[in-house]
Amino acid sequence: MTERVMTLAAVEHLCLRALTASGASTDNAAAVARSTMLAERDGIRSHGLLYVPIYAEHLRCGKVDGRASPVVSQPRPGAIVVDAATGFAHPAIDAGWDRFVAAAGRNGVAALTVFNSYNCGVLGHHAERIAEAGLLGLCTTHAPASIAPPGGRTPVIGTNPFALGVPDEAGGVALVLDQSASVVAKSEILLRSREGRPIEPGWALDADGAPTLDPVAALKGSMLPAGGYKGFGAGLLVEILASCLSGAALSKDASPFSGTAGGPPRTGQCFIAFDPSAFSPTFSPQVANLLGAIAGQEGARLPGGRRRAARQRTERDGVAVDAALIERIEAFIR
C-alpha cells in the first residue's frame, strides 16, 4: 500500500472540496470536513477520510441533503430541538449549539436533540466540545440496526455509542469517554472489508447467526454487543434517548450509512449538558481525585489515552493516507 503524508489542513481541505463538488453547500461541507480532520488527527481512521467517498456518494444519490437548512426550536427553557431536514448531523448540531450551552448555564442542565439527521462522526468530539465549555456532557447517537438482541438473529439497534465529556477546574478537559454498544465500531469492520483483512474473533456473526472472521459476511449479519446482554442494554438506553426521545427513525427502520439503498436514514442524536457548579462545589476536586487514583496505578491508563497520543503525533508529523483513497476522493472533484 502506497501512502502519502498529508497535513491536517490538507485533509480538511480535500474533504471540503469533495463534498462541495458533490453538491453540499460550503457551510455544511465545512462542518463535516472539520469532523473528518479531527478523526484523522486522533487516529480514528474509520471515521476519517475513509468515509469521504461514502459522504460524496450519498450527496449524489440523495441519501443526505447537502444544502439542508436545519430548523431550531426551543419548546422549553432547557430543551433545544433541531430538525436536520435530512442533512448532515454536524451543521444541525452546530445550529443548536449556542442555545444549548446557554440553556445549560442558565438552568443547570439542558438537552439538545437532533432528528432527521445522519452520521455525526466521532461522538467523543461533541462530548469534548461540551467539556471545553465547562460543562459535563453526555452524548448519544444511534445508527442503522446492526446488533441483534441476545438469543435473536435480526438486528434491532445500531452500534449506538455514548460519550462522556468531563471538564477540569482549569478550563480544559479532564476526560473523554467514548464507546459503542458493540465490541467494535461497525466502521472498523467496514475498514477491514475495504482492506481485505479478516476481523477479530468475537466481533460479529454472519447472517445465519454463526461466528465469522469475514468482514463482508459480518456486514450482512450482526455485530456482537460488548459484554453480551449488558452491552445490548447500553445500546437500548442510547436508542431510547437518541431515537425515541429525539423523534428520529428507529434503528431498525433507518437506511444504511453505507451503500445507496434506501432514502435518508433519518437518525438522531441526544446531548445532555450539566453545569457542575449548579450541583456540587466539590465536583472538580473529586474528578481530579478519581482520575488520579486510576492514572496513578502502574499499567493503568485513562480512557482516551491512545487518541491523545495520536493527536500529538499527527499534529507534529501529519497523517499517512493510502494514496488509492486520496485518488478515490479526488475523483469526486474532477
Is the pLDDT at 316 greater than 90? The verdict is yes
pLDDT digits (tens, 9 = 90+) for 103-160: 999 999 999 999 999 999 999 999 999 999 999 999 999 999 999 898 888 899 999 9
**Interval 301-322 mean pLDDT:** 94
pLDDT digits (tens, 9 = 90+) for 36-76: 999 999 999 989 999 999 999 999 999 999 999 999 999 99
d(CA 250, CA 265): 9
SS3 115: strand
Instruction: Please name which of 26, 245, 255, 238 lies closest in space to residue 114, comparing C-alpha atoms.
Output: 245
Of 16-20, 176-180, 197-201, 219-223, the poorest mean pLDDT is in 219-223
What residues have CB less than 8 Å from 158, skipping those under 6 apart?
A: 142, 143, 144, 145, 146, 147, 181, 186, 235, 239, 251, 254, 267
195 has catalytic annotation: no
d(CA 186, CA 305): 21
pLDDT digits (tens, 9 = 90+) for 283-295: 999 999 999 999 9
Output the nine-digit C-alpha cell for 122. Answer: 466521532
Is the pLDDT at 93 greater than 80? The verdict is yes
Q: Which of 12, 40, 128, 188 is catalytic?
A: 188
Taking CA atoms, 265 is separated from 66, 88, 116, 118, 256, in Å, by: 14, 11, 7, 6, 7
Task: Name 73's bridge partners.
Answer: 81
35 has catalytic annotation: no
pTM above 0.85, yes or no: yes
Domains in the chain and their CATH numbers? 1-61+304-334 (1.10.1530.10), 70-182+225-303 (3.30.1370.60)
Confidence at residue 331, expressed as pLDDT on a 0 to 100 scale: 96
SS3 282: coil
pLDDT digits (tens, 9 = 90+) for 216-264: 999 888 889 988 899 999 999 999 999 999 999 999 999 998 888 899 9
Confidence at residue 152, expressed as pLDDT on a 0 to 100 scale: 84
**Burial class of 180 by CB neighbour count within 10 A (0 to 12, 13 to 18, 19+):** buried
Share of the chain above pLDDT 70, in %: 100
| Mean pLDDT over each residue of the chain, to the nearest integer | 95
Is the pLDDT at 1 greater than 80? The verdict is no
Cα 207 to the center of its chain, rounded Å? 26
Q: Which of 47, 58, 125, 126 is catalytic?
A: 47
186 pLDDT band (50/70/90 cuts)? confident
Confidence at residue 280, expressed as pLDDT on a 0 to 100 scale: 97
188 has catalytic annotation: yes
Cα 13 to the center of its chain, rounded Å? 20
Confidence at residue 184, expressed as pLDDT on a 0 to 100 scale: 84
Q: Which of 46, 117, 146, 193 is catalytic?
A: 46
